[in-house]
Amino acid sequence: MARAVQKRTLETRARLIAAAEEVIAEAGYEAMRVEEVVQRAGVAKGTFFAHFRDKEALLERLIGTRGDAQLDRIEALPPPADIPAIIAALNPLIAEMTSERYVFDLILRYSGAASRAETGPIAQTFARTDEVLSQWLALGPFRKDVTPALLSSGVQAFLMHVTALHFCELYHEQTLQEMLTELLEAWLLPGGTGAKAG
């Protein structure tokens, strides 16, 4: 009996999420209105708040889900053998994060993992990214004088750095790619090509 009820609950939640995705696809995250979502989902406003603490909770979930999809894809890739491969793998994730200023702000707010009572989806995405990167860096032909965990941490720092610069009018897409490349080379292969030799 409890299961039957839960099914209805899941359906409602799915409808809300689908409606929200629809709205976002049409007008972007920032333009999403709770009112609009419940109307499209054919659900009462109160129901919305029975499923999500607030509007941001839904957004967090939505963004987290997308991030997870990216990570699923990334995990399925063969460990990259060089820096261009890393960048190529991570680029869609960067694209996701820079799709909208509002999204980036949200990500920043929620990336602070357990700053909230429970670890939210976005924080989890960050944790997963860390794991994936660590493995890659351990397996690939990168410097071994420091732990993969530290390397991964640094890569993430660069990732966020470059992502933040996306919203700075001074930089062009290409410049940022170059900057990221340079940073990663200097970080992962100090001594340049000599790293391979060394």
Residues of this chain that interact with a second copy (CB under 8 A) are 101, 105, 108-109, 111-115, 123, 143, 145-146, 150-151, 153-154, 156-158, 160-161, 164-170, 179, 182-183, 186-187, 190-192
Cα 11 from chain centre: 26
Contact between 171 and 74 under an 8 Å Cβ cutoff? The reply is no
With binding defined as CB under 7 A, does residue 33 bind DNA? yes
Nearer to DNA (CB atom), residue 3 or residue 76: 3
47 SS3 class: helix
Here the tokens at position 114 are 């357990």
Here the tokens at position 109 are 């707010």
Of 190, 189, 183, nearest in space to 155 by CA: 183
User: Of DNA, a second copy, none, which one does residue 5 interact with (CB within 5 to 8 Å by kind)?
Assistant: DNA
**Beta carbon of residue 4, minimum distance to DNA (angstroms, whole number):** 4
**Beta carbon of residue 103, minimum distance to a second copy (angstroms, whole number):** 13
Of 142, 125, 144, 150, nearest in space to 75 by CA: 125
CA atoms within 13 A on the CB side of 175: 9
Of 76, 54, 62, 72, nearest in space to 122 by CA: 62
With binding defined as CB under 7 A, does residue 26 bind DNA? no
User: Of a second copy, DNA, none, which one does residue 172 interact with (CB within 5 to 8 Å by kind)?
Assistant: none
With binding defined as CB under 7 A, does residue 184 bind DNA? no
Binding characters for DNA, 50-79, by CB under 7 A (x = yes): xx-xxxx-----------------------
**Beta carbon of residue 36, minimum distance to DNA (angstroms, whole number):** 8
